[in-house]
Amino acid sequence: MSHVVVDNPHGLDQQLAALDLNPDGQGGGTGRRYIPPHLRNKDAAKNDSPGWDGGRTNGFVNGFHDNRTNGGFGGRGPPRNDRGFGGYENKDGGWGGAPRDAAYNSFGGRNDRSKSAFFNDRGAGSRGRYERGGFGGGGNSRWVEDSRGEDDWSKPTAPNERLENELFSGSNTGINFEKYDDIPVEATGSNCPPHIESFHDVDMGEIIMGNITLTRYTRPTPVQKHAIPIIKIKRDLMACAQTGSGKTAAFLLPVLSQIYTEGPGDALQASKSSGQENGRYGRRKQYPISLVLAPTRELALQIYDEAKKFAYRSHVRPCVVYGGADIGQQIRDLERGCHLLVATPGRLVDMMERGKIGLDHCNYLVLDEADRMLDMGFEPQIRRIVEQDTMPPKGIRQTMMFSATFPKEIQILARDFLEDYIFLAVGRVGSTSENITQKVVWVEENDKRSFLLDLLNATGKDSLTLVFVETKKGADALEDFLYREGYACTSIHGDRSQRDREEALHQFRSGRCPILVATAVAARGLDISNVKHVINFDLPSDIEEYVHRIGRTGRVGNLGLATSFFNDKNSNITKDLLDILVEAKQEVPSWLESLAYEHQHKSTSRGRSKRFSGGFGARDYRQASGGSGGFNSNRSGRNAGGHGGSRGFGGGGFGGNFYNDGYGGNYNHSGSVDWWGN
Ligand code: ADP
Ligand code: MG
């Protein structure tokens, strides 16, 4: 292949010199260069911290520390009884006419009262049931069938200090959301409700509000602002928002809130009678009210951990089932009660076939990483679960899909599962998170290992580095190599036992092994704070995978770096990669541009069917061709669409200059505000 464009552009040394990683000065100047150790002169060698790290380690500055130190649960505040609020449109009161502060300030959300008032609203009598153990796992005590049914599910159950500490100790410390309104949002579909600006703008009930306070989420993220009211009014939703932008809570909060409001309904009765049929308490089939499906085991676990937080002090018992782990233990856990189930598809089908799970009363279905869940690998299982069993049909159940990428083909397929849905694109369509600095370096296969060592040495010890390879064998081999070179590293891939996988992730998260070598199994959804550098030792073959992989860094307002090793083997991703770099305003190596140019000319069909729509996101395919969307019509830019302060969606001019398939594209964003408004 001829890719030589400028003077020997592929020489490793030139590539290294072109890497803009190491600071000449600290901070964000453009003159920063990555100089690997063996090329450094004395002066450069003094600089031992990588430039991308300098001075921007942490966006978490505020938070609820004050409240958190006050652990007392006793205290003031009468029991609240303010339910019955009708909806999101009451932005001001938001709580059924109760004065705003009376309604929620006991959580410490807006003033400096402690959370204690919230926690004191149960009589002593209701506590007894929960005080003994039984809090393990689901965040709730044993599902006590005899009295639960009569309980008001909208009321918080008694607090448990130990559990509370366990659930919330690692929580966020908050994010600076200034200039927040600049995030473009596009919501298409009929009758989309207005978005919220604060968690208090919608009635999610006191349990959820209490738990939001405990997690120290001060404000909704952009996807939460929009998705929460849509879900609250029971609309189906396909939501596309950047990696690390808070999609998990965007579905967990409103779904759990609905369950608390509506109570167990028929699910409770069904489970009771199945228990009677089986003749023994505890052997009954479980009828979850909500099902969340995820593509990997570790992601399922992570969502489950989040669900436990928002189910704290509620009657809802979350459970998780996934492959590779002891099924007997999972069954025993299910039998203690399961109202919200997080699952990987294979294990769920197994549980259904064993008669442990019935989806007859599953009113809420969430597909996280939905484009992955509906691609060829998973689609048959998803159909088996959703269409070919007892789950209520679309239109009856509520279906929500979330991802950072939504190729058009997948959107079309997804129609089978959705009824009159709203499509939400939050963020700059056609862009990966701008929090992530993306580098592409030409590295021949034979040079990859030594270049990796250079990068690792430049990174420093304190930050976490995630190294992606294509194959399981490759992961083992690279882990061995790094280990022999003296690096504390571990690996995660499909040939490792589940126990080893979870252990590896744990070691990585905790920083004990700051280098994790991974296959695609770790590409999606994992939320690991402090991942500073994602290295594509082998680039993936499709661009969605690339977007998700690099999305393991630069999360929640933090900054990150992604370095990809590119060579002849990766020509299939050239064009999409170039598009992404351009969209995200990243530096584009000239050889990549030339390669892409060559490719385009070689390719006979100009408008090759572009599977990917550009960048992180997608447009609503329903709007892409003709129709009233007018996405292509307004090149003048974002402001015309009115995103931000007002509704920012609908047919009007969400412009930007989209690619010629009228589908992907960008917002032509000119501001310098990042995803989190920093
Ligand atoms: P995504 O699914 O969009 O990739 P996650 O749901 O994994 O993102 O969330 C990323 C991180 O952001 C998590 O650590 C989560 O706790 C945190 N987070 C979510 N919502 C908020 C919020 N409103 N304020 C602060 N942090 C948040
Ligand atoms: Mg996610």
For residue range 61-94, list pLDDT tens digits in order. Answer: 222 233 333 333 333 333 333 333 333 333 332 2
Please tell me the distance from the alpha carbon of residue 208 to that of residue 193, in angstroms, as a whole number: 21
637 CB burial (10 A radius; 0-12, 13-18, 19+): middle
Confidence of residue 584 (pLDDT cuts 50, 70, 90): confident
The pLDDT value recorded for residue 603 is 57
Only one residue has tokens 């992604």, namely: 562
Q: Is 120 buried (19+), middle (13-18) or exposed (0-12) by CB count in 10 A?
A: buried
381 ligand 1 Cβ < 6 A: no
Cα(414)–Cα(441) distance, integer angstroms: 36
Name the region of 665 (left: φ>0; alpha: ψ -120 to 50; beta: rest).
Answer: left
Q: Over 80: is that where the pLDDT of 346 sits? A: yes
129 compared with 245, residue with greater pLDDT: 245
Atom of ligand 1 nearest to the CA of 556: 12
Return the structure tokens found at 465. Answer: 């580095």
Q: What per-residue confidence (pLDDT) applies to 74?
A: 31
User: How do residues 255-298 score in pLDDT, each as one tens digit?
Assistant: 999 999 999 877 767 766 765 555 444 568 999 999 999 999 99
**Nearest CA-CA partner of 65 in 220, 213, 176:** 213
pLDDT (tens digit per residue) in 511-533? 999 999 999 999 999 999 889 99
- Which of 75 and 477 is assigned the larger pLDDT? 477
Residue from 60, 171, 172 to probe ligand 1 pocket by mutation (most atoms less than 8 Å from CB):
172
Question: What's the pLDDT score for residue 54?
Answer: 30
Q: What is the pLDDT of residue 283?
A: 65
Q: Which of 591, 594, 533 minimizes the C-alpha distance to 564?
A: 533
pLDDT in the model for residue 624:
64
Residue 217 in contact with ligand 1 by CB distance below 6 A? yes
Do 436-603 and 161-426 fall under one CATH topology?
yes
CA of 647 to the centre of ligand 1 (A): 23
Residue 355 has pLDDT above 80, yes or no: yes
622 CB-contact burial (10 Å; exposed 0-12 / middle 13-18 / buried 19+): middle
pLDDT band at 184 (very low <50, low <70, confident <90, very high): confident
Rounded Cα gap, residues 536 and 549, in angstroms: 8
Whole-angstrom distance, CA of residue 223 vs CA of residue 42: 48
What distance in angstroms lies between residue 481's CA and the mean position of ligand 1's atoms?
A: 34
Residue 24 clears pLDDT 70, i.e. is over it: no
337 Cβ closer than 6 Å to some ligand 1 atom: no
For 198-211, how does the pLDDT look when each residue is reduced to its tens digit (9 = 90+)?
Answer: 999 999 999 999 99
Q: Is the pTM of this model over 0.75?
A: no
Q: How confident is the model at residue 438 (pLDDT cuts 50, 70, 90)?
A: very high
pLDDT band at 171 (very low <50, low <70, confident <90, very high): low
- Would you state the structure tokens that stand for residue 502, as one six-digit string? 């979870």
What values do phi and psi take at 466, rounded to 5? Answer: -110, 120
Residue partners of 484: CB distance under 8 A and separation at least 6: none
**pLDDT surpasses 70 at 607:** no
How many percent of the chain have pLDDT more than 90? 53
Q: Tokens representing 677?
A: 């408004």
Predicted confidence band of residue 172 (pLDDT cuts 50, 70, 90): low
pLDDT of 642-653, one tens digit each?
332 222 222 222
Which whole number is the average pLDDT over 494-516?
A: 95
Contact 591, 613 (CB under 8 A): no
Above pLDDT 70, what percent of the chain? Answer: 62
- Residues near 584 by beta carbon (within 8 Å), at least 6 away in sequence: 431, 432, 433, 434, 436, 438, 615
Domain assignments of the chain as residue spans, ordered by start:
161-426, 436-603
Helix, strand, or coil (residue 360): coil
Reported as a single tens digit per residue, the pLDDT across 308-331 is 999 999 999 999 999 999 999 999
- In the 8-state DSSP scheme, what is residue 26? S
Q: 109 or 255: whose pLDDT is higher?
A: 255
Which fold would CATH assign to domain 436-603?
Rossmann fold (3.40.50)
| Range of weakest confidence among 85-94, 157-166, 236-245, 594-603 | 85-94
Report residue 60: phi and psi, to 5°: -90, 105
How far from each other are the two terminal CA atoms of the chain, in whole angstroms?
43
Average pLDDT, the chain: 73
CA dihedral 60, 105, 192, 645 (to 10 degrees): -60
pLDDT at 508: 96
Q: Which CATH class is domain 161-426?
A: alpha beta
Q: What pLDDT does 265 receive?
A: 79
Does residue 252 register a pLDDT over 50?
yes
Q: Which atom of ligand 1 is nearest to the CA of 402?
A: 2
Tell the residue number behind the tokens 């690792």, with chain if given. 456
Given pLDDT bands bounded at 50, 70 and 90, which one contains residue 434? Answer: confident
User: Ligand 1 in contact with 426 (CB < 6 A)?
Assistant: no
Which atom of ligand 1 is nearest to 248's Cα?
6
Alpha-carbon distance of 491 to 513, in angstroms, equals: 9
Could you tell me the distance, in angstroms and rounded to a whole number, from the CA of residue 88 to the centre of ligand 1?
22
pLDDT of residue 383: 97
Return the CA Rg of the chain: 25
Q: Average of pLDDT values for 25-43? A: 38
Could you tell me which residue, 667 or 415, shows the higher pLDDT? 415
Q: Going by C-beta distance under 8 Å and a sequence separation of 6 or more, which residues neighbour residue 251?
A: 227, 231, 292, 366, 368, 400, 402
Query: At residue 615, does pLDDT exceed 50?
Result: no
378 or 35: which leads in pLDDT:
378
The better pLDDT of the pair 409, 25 is held by 409
Helix, strand or coil, per DSSP, at residue 437: strand
